[in-house]
């Protein structure tokens, strides 16, 4: 398989193998530190009590601990990231309580996931050092191998609405990847790996610090995988069928291509710090997958040329200063840009199996002044004022690549088989925001939080979102939390602006072209509104044992859903047959419970270890306003996750992980009319949409580490995924012609060498 995207000269496979061989032969300087072993030793030396007191900033934009914030927060340390083999953010999310991930099911974001019933990356705010790194103008973006964690010092995950502090998209919660400034040569390392199905990867981190307080950190990663030939492992789902348009065969079954589904990713991270006052950073992440991801053979062709290639760049500067003895302030300026490669193309039934093109561009520029003011020994105020400017372009199906040198309205393109000009929509909007939060420590064991954020959006008017919480610590090892929060999510450009469909050239009696399979824009979409109440209990019966429970209830109104449109004249000179659009017709309600446990132990002799796990239950309904009430999609009603790490003399680590999930509603409201589509667990005659589910599964991963190799400095990892080679499925997309149950990867493995220098 040829590369999924242009790569630098050093990236081909023969160079990667050479790099692996050279790494094995390098001499380690005497001053080099074994960072992996040091982190593992530090992890065992720290008790859970000490880790609970680890400072975090996600919950309230100030340094505090998990016992001080009313939100349910999980902190994953660098040592845990390495030992549990969380190579990227998707790996980490998959191991968290209350999270469902369906891998490789959606073209525009690759992995579909739900956090406590909230579906998609446009409802989870992802940040790097407190700076947004997701879709700049809102909407979907890949949460996959592109968000590698090589630079992470720790990852903080806050559950529940947090718009009172962070604004739009902080609906399901906030993920903050915390990095650190360069620490000199002893913190530098490189990693190379190769595995089954043509999988290859490489990453590095390095940095420096001088006596004047200047520190630099630079890192990056590159990854590529052909992935498994799923047509060989799932012959029924990928049986070669004719490519047909309006009943006519375009490509006969015996001429159809073999399945292919490779992916590629890369990222670059750089950060400079001047003492504690100034930080400047840059982060780029790219992902490449096929536009046929999640589509069956009856829907799309599997062509190497049909790729989805989004690139996101974020640059920021943060100035910290102290305007008064009890006031700490910071000024943050950031700019982000997400662009889909204009040469990205697709080839499917919606464009009559011709090469089609699409383009998307989103930008965001923001400035925010925030401060933390200690009013007294018991009260502290956080406040901020910000301004954000957005722009977006979303194209319809294009017959040729978008010309980035021309504005959206001057592309000069026409819908295939017509003389109708293609209408390309763009938008510019801005938002002014202000927030304030008061945290009061009334006694040693009781504190409260009260906050409010007001956003003035140029398109959607004024939105206010309160946040009220309390923390009660009756005993040293018992903590109770109660939190009420509200959030909003502005419609993304993909929801409000994008359009697609095709024309066969046929006209009606009035001479208008007849369009089919169209989705039309909706310029009147309104923000979704979320209200959530949660209660959490944290109990530490022993120094190295932690038990927790998190109960939550959420309501979403004005839910954005796909619905039938009565706009049959969205394109002048055309009539559209049964078009669809996005609308605010929905309402979603969900209640859930997450139980968590973590235990660190010494097994006697040279053995020590860590055990962690979670059990989650959720019940929820969606009412789309069309008389159909059905279960929330992509969230299993119950799931259990268990992992353990055993260590022997800091030389060997063994980490098995088990995921068991129940059936998942896959978003279908009626059975497919095309018998060539796989039916999964759905019946042809639908009575209750809840029966339209993807069966549950149990999957085991195993990670083995050999440490202190090559003069005691390197680590060799063997990662085995789907250890028992189980054939299982993920809930597919809800579109009318995507897979019901998307086949997942068979057993795969990766051998990786980490080498500090």
468-485 pLDDT, tens digit per residue, is 999 999 988 899 999 999
DSSP state of 144: S
Please say if the pLDDT value at position 212 is more than 60.
Answer: yes
Q: Tell me the pLDDT band of 178, cut-offs 50, 70 and 90.
A: very high
Taking the C-alpha atoms of residue 22 and residue 522, their distance in angstroms, rounded to an integer, is 56
Predicted pLDDT of residue 30: 28
Nearest to 563 by CA among 632, 635, 628: 628
Domains and CATH numbers, the chain: 13-756 (2.40.170.20)
Contact 393, 430 (CB under 8 A): no
- Note the pLDDT tens digit of each residue in 370-383: 999 998 888 999 99
665 neighbors 630 (Cβ within 8 angstroms): yes
The mean-pLDDT minimum among 58-62, 296-300, 392-396 falls in: 58-62
Contact between residue 393 and residue 424 where contact means Cβ atoms under 8 Å apart: yes
Neighbours of 33 (CB within 10 A): 18
pLDDT of residue 32: 32
Among 153, 194, 26, 28, which residue's Cα sits nearest to residue 753? 194
Residue 440 has pLDDT above 90, yes or no: yes
pTM: 0.89
Exposure on the CB side of residue 358, measured as CA atoms within 13 A = 24
**pLDDT band for position 670 (50/70/90)?**
low
Q: Which of 37-46, 48-57, 648-657, 739-748 has the lowest mean pLDDT?
A: 37-46
Q: Residues 60, 61, 62, 68: what is their CA dihedral angle, to the nearest 10 degrees?
A: 20
Nearest to 280 by CA among 181, 407, 404: 181
Lookup: tokens for 223: 């990854």
Stated as kind and residue range, the H or E segment containing 94 is helix 89-94
CA 400 to chain centre: 30
Cα–Cα distance measured from residue 253 to residue 403, given in angstroms and rounded to the nearest whole number = 35
- DSSP state letters, 153-187: SEEEEEES--HHHH-TT-SSEEEEEE------GGG
- Alpha helix segments (H runs only) across 363-485: none
Spatial distance between the Cα atoms of 634 and 3, rounded to a whole number of angstroms: 32
Question: Looking at residue 676, what is its pLDDT?
Answer: 39
- Both tokens of residue 554? 């959420």
Rounded Cα gap, residues 1 and 16, in angstroms: 16
Q: How confident is the model at residue 230 (pLDDT cuts 50, 70, 90)?
A: very high
d(CA 432, CA 213): 35
Measured between alpha carbons, how far is 113 from 100 in angstroms, rounded to an integer?
5
* Pick from 575, 565, 586: nearest CA to 519: 565
pLDDT above 70 covers what percent of the chain?
A: 86
Say how far apart CA 66 and CA 546 lie, in whole Å: 13
Choose the weakest-confidence range: 404-413, 434-443, 552-561, 670-679: 670-679
Specify the pLDDT at position 725.
97
Q: Exposure pattern of 576-605 as b/e (b: 16+ CB <10 Å)?
A: beebbbbbbebbbbbbbbbbbebbbbeeee
Query: What is the distance in angstroms between the CA of the first residue and the CA of the last residue of the chain?
Result: 34
424-448 residues labelled b (16+ CB within 10 A) or e (exposed):
bbebebebebebbbbbbbeeebebb
Q: Is the pLDDT of residue 75 over 80?
A: yes
Neighbours of 292 (CB within 10 A): 24
- For the chain, the helix, strand and coil percentages under 3-state DSSP, each to the nearest 5: 10, 50, 40
State how far the alpha carbon of 453 is from the alpha carbons of 221, 381, 558, in Å. 37, 13, 20
- Looking up tokens 């209200």 gives 531
Backbone angles phi, psi at 472, to 5 degrees: -125, 125
The C-alpha atoms of residue 495 and residue 586 are separated, in whole angstroms, by 14
The residue whose two tokens read 């102290």 is: 322
Q: How confident is the model at residue 126 (pLDDT cuts 50, 70, 90)?
A: very high
In tens, the pLDDT along 287-303 reads 999 999 988 898 899 99
Kind and range of the H or E run holding 317:
strand 310-324
Residues 6+ apart with CB under 8 A from 477: 539, 540, 541
The dihedral over CA atoms of 331, 449, 485, 368, expressed in degrees to the nearest 10, equals -10
- Our separate counts of H helices and E strands in the chain read 8, 43
Residue 679 clears pLDDT 50, i.e. is over it: no
Measure Cα distances from 398 to 4, 20, 502, 590, 730 in Å: 21, 43, 10, 39, 31
Mean pLDDT over each residue of the chain, to the nearest integer: 86
Helix (H) or strand (E) holding 231: helix 230-233
The closest alpha carbon to 363, from 450, 435, 428, belongs to 428
Q: Which of 309, 358, 318, 316 has the alpha carbon at shortest distance from 338?
A: 309
Backbone angles phi, psi at 623, to 5 degrees: -115, 115
Is the CB of residue 168 less than 8 Å from the CB of residue 490? yes
Reading the block at residue 568, the tokens are 């049959």
Percent of the chain with pLDDT over 90: 59
- Tell me how far apart the alpha carbons of residues 302 and 305 are, in angstroms, rounded to a whole number: 9
Cα dist. 49→53, 413, 478, 540, 733 in Å?
7, 63, 12, 8, 43
Say which residues have a Cβ less than 8 Å from residue 598's Cβ, sequence separation at least 6: 48, 545, 546, 610, 611, 612
């Amino acid at each position: 398989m040829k590369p999924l995207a242009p790569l630098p000269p050093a990236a081909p496979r023969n160079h990667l193998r050479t790099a692996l061989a050279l790494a094995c032969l390098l001499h380690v300087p005497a001053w080099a530190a074994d960072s992996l072993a040091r982190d593992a030793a530090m992890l065992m030396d720290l008790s859970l009590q000490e880790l609970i007191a680890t400072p975090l900033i996600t919950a309230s934009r100030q340094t505090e601990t998990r016992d001080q914030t009313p939100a349910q927060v999980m902190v994953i340390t660098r040592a845990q990231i390495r030992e549990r083999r969380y190579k990227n953010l998707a790996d980490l999310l998959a191991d968290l309580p209350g999270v469902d991930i369906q891998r490789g099911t959606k073209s525009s974001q690759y992995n579909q996931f739900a956090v406590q019933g909230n579906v998609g990356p446009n409802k989870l705010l992802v940040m790097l050092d407190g700076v947004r790194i997701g879709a700049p103008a809102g909407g979907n973006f890949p949460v996959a191998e592109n968000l590698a964690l090589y630079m992470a010092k720790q990852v903080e995950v806050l559950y529940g609405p947090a718009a009172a502090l962070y604004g739009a998209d902080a609906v399901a919660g906030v993920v903050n990847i915390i990095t650190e400034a360069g620490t000199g040569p002893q913190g530098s390392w490189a990693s190379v790996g190769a595995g089954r199905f043509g999988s290859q990867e490489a990453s590095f981190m390095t940095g420096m610090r001088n006596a004047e307080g200047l520190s630099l950190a630079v890192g990056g990663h590159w990854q590529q995988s052909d992935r498994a030939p799923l047509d060989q492992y799932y012959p029924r789902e990928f049986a070669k069928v004719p490519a047909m348009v309006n009943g006519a065969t375009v490509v006969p079954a015996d001429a159809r291509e073999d399945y292919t589904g490779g992916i590629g990713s890369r990222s670059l991270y750089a950060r400079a710090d001047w003492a504690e006052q100034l930080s400047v950073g840059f982060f780029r992440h790219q992902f490449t997958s096929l536009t046929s991801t999640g589509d069956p053979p009856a829907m799309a062709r599997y062509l190497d040329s049909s790729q989805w290639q989004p690139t996101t760049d974020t640059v920021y500067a943060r100035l910290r200063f102290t305007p008064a003895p009890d006031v700490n302030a910071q000024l943050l300026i950031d700019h982000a840009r997400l662009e889909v490669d204009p040469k990205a193309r697709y080839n499917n039934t919606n464009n009559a199996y011709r090469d089609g093109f699409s383009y998307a561009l989103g930008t965001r520029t923001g400035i925010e002044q925030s401060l933390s003011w200690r009013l007294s020994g018991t009260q502290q105020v956080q406040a901020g004022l910000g301004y954000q400017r957005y722009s977006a372009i979303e194209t319809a199906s294009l017959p040729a690549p978008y010309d980035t040198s021309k504005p959206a309205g001057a592309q000069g393109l026409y819908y295939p088989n017509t003389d109708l000009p293609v209408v390309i929509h763009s938008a510019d909007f801005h938002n002014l925001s202000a927030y304030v939060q008061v945290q009061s420590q009334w006694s040693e064991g009781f504190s409260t939080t009260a906050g409010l954020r007001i956003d003035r959006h140029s398109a959607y008017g004024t939105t206010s979102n309160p946040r009220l919480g309390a923390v009660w610590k009756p005993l040293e090892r018992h903590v109770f939390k109660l939190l009420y929060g509200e959030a909003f999510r502005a419609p993304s450009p993909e929801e409000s602006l994008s359009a697609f469909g095709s024309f066969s050239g046929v006209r009606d009696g009035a001479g208008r072209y007849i369009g089919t399979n169209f989705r039309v824009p909706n310029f009147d979409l309104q923000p979704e509104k979320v209200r959530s109440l949660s209660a959490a209990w944290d109990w530490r019966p022993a120094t190295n044992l932690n038990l927790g429970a998190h109960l939550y209830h959420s309501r979403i109104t004005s839910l954005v859903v796909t619905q039938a449109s009565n706009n049959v004249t969205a394109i002048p000179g055309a009539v559209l047959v049964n078009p669809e659009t996005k609308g605010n017709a929905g309402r979603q309600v969900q209640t859930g419970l997450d139980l968590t446990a973590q235990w660190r132990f010494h097994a006697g002799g040279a053995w020590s270890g860590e055990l962690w796990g979670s059990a989650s239950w959720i019940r929820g309904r969606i009412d789309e306003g069309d008389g159909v009430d059905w279960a929330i999609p992509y969230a299993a009603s119950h799931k259990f996750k268990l992992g353990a790490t055993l260590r022997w003399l800091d030389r060997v680590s063994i980490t098995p992980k088990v995921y068991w999930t129940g059936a998942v509603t896959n978003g279908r409201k009626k059975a497919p009319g095309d018998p060539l589509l796989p039916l999964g667990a759905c019946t042809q005659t639908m009575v209750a949409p809840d029966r339209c589910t993807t069966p549950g599964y149990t999957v085991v991963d195993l990670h083995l580490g050999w440490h202190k190799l090559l003069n005691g400095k390197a680590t060799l990892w063997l990662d085995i995924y789907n250890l028992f080679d189980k054939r299982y499925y993920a809930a597919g997309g809800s579109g009318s012609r995507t897979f019901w149950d998307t086949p997942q990867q068979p057993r795969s493995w990766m051998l990786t060498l980490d080498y500090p220098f």
